[in-house]
Amino acid sequence: MERENDTDDLDSEETEEWVLALGSVLENDGVERAQYLLQRLSHVVTKTGAQLPYAITTPYRNTIPVSQEARMPGDLFMERNIRSLIRWNAMAMVMRANLKDGTLGGHISTFQSSATLYDVGFNYFFRAPTDGHEGDLIYYQGHSAPGIYARSYLEGRFSEEELDSFRQETEGGGLSSYPHPWLMPDYWQFPTVSMGLGPLQAIYQAHIMKYLGSRGLSDPSDRKVWCFAGDGEMDEPESQGAISLAGREGLDNLIFVINCNLQRLDGPVRGNGKIIQELEGVFRGAGWNVIKVIWGRQWDALFEKDRLGLLQRRMDEALDGDYQNYKSRGGEYTREHFFGKYPELASMVEDLTDEQIFRLNRGGHDPYKVYAAYAAAVKHEGQPTVILAKTVKGYGLGLAGEAQNYTHSVKKLDVGALRSFRDRFDIPLSDGDVETVPYYRPPADSPEMVYLRERRAALGGPLPQRRNDLAPLRVPGLEDLSTHLAGTADREVSTTMSFVRILSTLIKDPNIGERIVPIVPDEARTFGMEGMFRQLGIYSSVGQLYQPTDSDQLMFYREDEKGQVMEEGINEGGAFAAWLAAATSWSHNDCPLVPFYVFYSMFGFQRIGDLCWAAGDLQARGFLLGGTSGRTTLNGEGLQHQDGHSHVLASTVPNCVSYDPTYAYELAVIIQHGLREMFELMKPCYYYITVMNENYVQPPLPPGSEEGIIKGLYLLASNSTPKSKRVVQLMGSGTILREVLAAADILKAEFDVDADIWSATSFNELRREGLSVERWNMLHPAETPRVSYVEDCLADTRGPVIAATDYMKTYADQIRPFVPRQYRVLGTDGFGRSDTRGKLRRFFEVDRNYIAVTALSAMVDENLLDAGEVERAIDLLKIDVDKPDPATL
Ligand SMILES: Cc1ncc(C[n+]2csc(CCOP(=O)(O)OP(=O)(O)O)c2C)c(N)n1
Ligand SMILES: [Mg+2]
């Protein structure tokens, strides 16, 4: 019996009795009975108002006792040889890239800490997709990529030339620095190197897989999502931010493996504490199954000898900063500072040499312990599992960086260090060979290579691999959306409401209806989508266990196991991650989904921009709807809500196609086109569309305008004639187009100016097209120059060009190089504030009056008008010339 040598113990005999009693319960009635008794006892204590003396952490030791470890079936030595080769080649590829050009970078130490964690997975657990099974999904720690490439090299998937192309991606696609499906579309599945995005994505991946299973769209079978993350990475709010969802939803298809090497980039993760203990508490509190893999087999014998519990006590006491020293300073230091604290402990290791003490291994470097943890994790039901594996950063680098604070950045080893590394891992290279850091791959028929291939063959083939070819969906034609093209006669409707109606039509579509996934972060009522609650149901893995308060209403809050709507709570990052998993389901589940994520546009790109970037990398296909958009259109909500820049942010994602439509028919044309592009033609892009909550009459589709709507600009009203004396071209988007129309009326009525009106559905798309034309012309000087679409549109028109939007001026300004004449832009630079739409538009100088004055001023510049006309307009339209610039307020 373990006895704590504890000075706090007031009555050790009484303690002994309790401990013995519990021991006999454990022996005779099992763990569950013991847990029950402890729970009852804790109820007695907490009834008094006292806090329980223990936290939700367990002692600093492995969760799985030796007696319950599943036994690893394979050949330990063979696997070590293979792992050693992977270690060597991973190190060599980073080093060779930096020998070639010292600026290329790369990481050695991270993979050396996680090599065993991956190896055990590859040898026994990670299943590749096969005909009968979709395979497991694995999120690799981004900067451990060299190790993953090194394994693929041994498997014969990469040549030495390809390894030598690591981080040289511009010419013929070298191996990408980190996992990027955009750059290696047949290989990497998930971009993870932006810390925190892997864990968040993995949780929602597992969630969407359950959703698909529940709705009968795809069989999740026993597929697992494995997410490897760093212990430093767990400090990112995104890493831990969604773990309670995983616990609540009982995502037992999800396994986190946290590589607890106790270090991040600059130094220790928790020098003054213990990251494993901290994470244990956090994850357990969130409802996860926690498996700690702290100690390797070498410690088992010492634990056996630990009759007084002193070893455990010392382990509990030592801090991560101390543990880092034990590995960076070696065996002698560890003997003195760890074991030496208690004489009984020092004598426990008397028989061990310093070298043996140094080799007392950590759990994450012991394949047996790692295997046991993985075996338990894949069997665990009803909860997600987190494996907290203790490792050593820079394992095997010795003096070149093992457990040193600087190890993260080590990219080169000197010859001496290379030789020690070779010796430590028994790489069959001579002293001379080592100097050039060659790759090493044994012959294909060597026992190692045969073993390696057999293991992967048993698990369905090599990994990573990404499915990049899929059968397209049959999407509805524009004629199927004809009711949305016809206009609303005299009924006033917002584009948000128009969108909801289009969505309802799509949901009823016989081909893609069931594939539509509406996603909202607690804003469905804001967007008028609450009708979908009842109609489609909100997905919940347990259905609805209570009666909703509005159950007697037509549109009651209906949760359902087969619900189609995903209502992700007030959690834009999570809702976006759900969208991301749905938008890549075509690749990851062989089941294309068409997700529509509707959110407050201010809390989209601005809040979760890094995920939006990752969506581009992932080749996500789906729609993002920025609701209540426009700095002046969302009138009452003020500075934090009014979005005047999401389109500018959207323009930064190369394959995000974005629109700011004014009319329902534009929206219908854009959505139908997007469906066709993404799901029929399989173009790797996604759509961002802003919708507004301002009501107005929706006109019918002007015949022939479809192409212009898609390209980003079309002539909405041609008011000038060859006889017109004064002509101006006015452009607008979103609701501000309506101000443009009103400005045209003022110009006509008061100044005899004929304004042609252009609806500019996407300045972002116009700019992209213009830039590509400009580039082509530069590179083809001898050929007939091409004409940009903007220039082509304006070719046969007259007068200066004025554009106004509800976004920052830079949004419309983007097409300036392609406008063949004078171009002026109006926009909503500056912080928003609450007021009525009319007042806001005047404040931001984008209302009809400012548009009219701008047009007149531009015409004066071209000598089309007297300067006095601008002054007259300023007077007439009551423009305050001393009003401060809103951009500065
Ligand atoms: C969002 C983000 N911030 C910063 C970085 C830069 N960075 C790359 S690795 C790293 C340290 C990672 O430490 P840890 O998660 O413990 O991984 P380890 O290498 O120790 O396994 C940092 C800060 C990043 N990649 N992403
Ligand atoms: Mg770390």
Nearest Cα residue to 145 out of 94, 215, 210: 94
pLDDT of residue 65: 95
pLDDT of residue 53: 65
DSSP strand pairing (225-230 vs 137-139): parallel
Two structure tokens written together for 205: 């991946």
CA–centroid distance, 302 to ligand 1, in Å, is: 34
Strand partners, 422: none
Place of tokens 């088992």: 300
pLDDT of residue 672: 98
pLDDT of residue 55: 63
Query: Is the shortest distance between the CB of 265 and ligand 1 below 6 Å?
Result: yes
Share of the chain above pLDDT 70, in %: 99
Question: Concatenated DSSP letters for 338-366?
Answer: TGGGSHHHHHHTTTS-HHHHHT--BGGG-
CA–centroid distance, 254 to ligand 1, in Å, is: 22
Q: What pLDDT, in 10s, does the model give residues 370-399?
A: 999 999 999 999 999 999 999 999 999 999
Neighbouring residues of 240: CB distance < 8 A, sequence distance ≥ 6: 199, 234, 282
Ligand number nearest CA of 178 is: 1
Residue 196: what are its φ and ψ, rounded to 5°? 100, -25
Q: What CA–CA distance (Å, rounded) separates 244 from 220? A: 21
pLDDT for residue 5 is more than 60: no
Query: Is the shortest distance between the CB of 230 and ligand 1 below 6 Å?
Result: yes
Length of the chain: 889
Ligand 1, atom nearest to 143 Cα: 9
Instruction: Give the C-alpha distances (Å, rounded to integers) separating 22 from 15, 16, 17, 378, 767.
Output: 11, 10, 9, 30, 74
CA–centroid distance, 262 to ligand 2, in Å, is: 5
Ligand 1, atom nearest to 264 Cα: 13
What mean pLDDT is predicted for residues 485-511?
96
Place of tokens 């081909």: 511
CA–centroid distance, 249 to ligand 1, in Å, is: 28
Instruction: Give the C-alpha distances (Å, rounded to integers) separating 565 from 522, 605, 811.
Output: 11, 22, 33
pLDDT of residue 90: 98
Instruction: Give the C-alpha distances (Å, rounded to integers) separating 405 from 235, 271, 562.
Output: 18, 11, 50
Q: The dihedral of CA 72, 75, 81, 85: what is its sign?
A: negative
pLDDT for residue 173 is more than 90: no
Neighbours of 563 (CB within 10 A): 22
Strand partners, 623: 596, 687
Ligand number nearest CA of 108 is: 1
pLDDT for residue 824 is more than 70: yes
CA atoms within 13 A on the CB side of 700: 7
Query: Is the shortest distance between the CB of 259 and ligand 1 below 6 Å?
Result: yes
Q: What pLDDT, in 10s, does the model give residues 637-676?
A: 999 999 999 999 999 999 999 999 999 999 999 999 999 9
pLDDT for residue 260 is more than 70: yes
**pLDDT confidence tier of residue 100, bands split at 50, 70 and 90:** confident
What mean pLDDT is predicted for residues 804-812?
98
Nearest CA to ligand 1 atom 19: 110
Nearest CA to ligand 1 atom 25: 194
Query: Is the shortest distance between the CB of 656 and ligand 1 below 6 Å?
Result: no
Instruction: Give the C-alpha distances (Å, rounded to integers) separating 537 from 99, 489, 497, 529, 566.
Output: 59, 32, 19, 12, 9
CA–centroid distance, 195 to ligand 1, in Å, is: 6
pLDDT for residue 4 is more than 70: no
Q: Which of 195, 228, 320 should be mutated for ligand 1, with most atoms under 8 A from CB?
A: 195
CA–centroid distance, 71 to ligand 2, in Å, is: 28
Q: Which of 264, 388, 406, 611 should be mutated for ligand 1, with most atoms under 8 A from CB?
A: 264
pLDDT for residue 6 is more than 70: no
Ligand 1, atom nearest to 109 Cα: 19
DSSP strand pairing (727-732 vs 754-759): parallel
What mean pLDDT is predicted for residues 53-78?
91
pLDDT for residue 1 is more than 80: no
Helix %, strand %, coil % of the chain (to 5): 45, 10, 45
Q: What CA–CA distance (Å, rounded) separates 432 from 428? A: 12
**pLDDT, mean over the chain:** 96
Query: Is the shortest distance between the CB of 378 and ligand 1 below 6 Å?
Result: no
Neighbouring residues of 322: CB distance < 8 A, sequence distance ≥ 6: 337, 338
* Contact of 94 with 166, CB cutoff 8 Å: yes
Ligand number nearest CA of 195 is: 1
Neighbouring residues of 434: CB distance < 8 A, sequence distance ≥ 6: 415, 418, 419, 422
Instruction: Bin 487: left if φ > 0, else alpha if -120 < ψ < 50, else beta.
Output: left
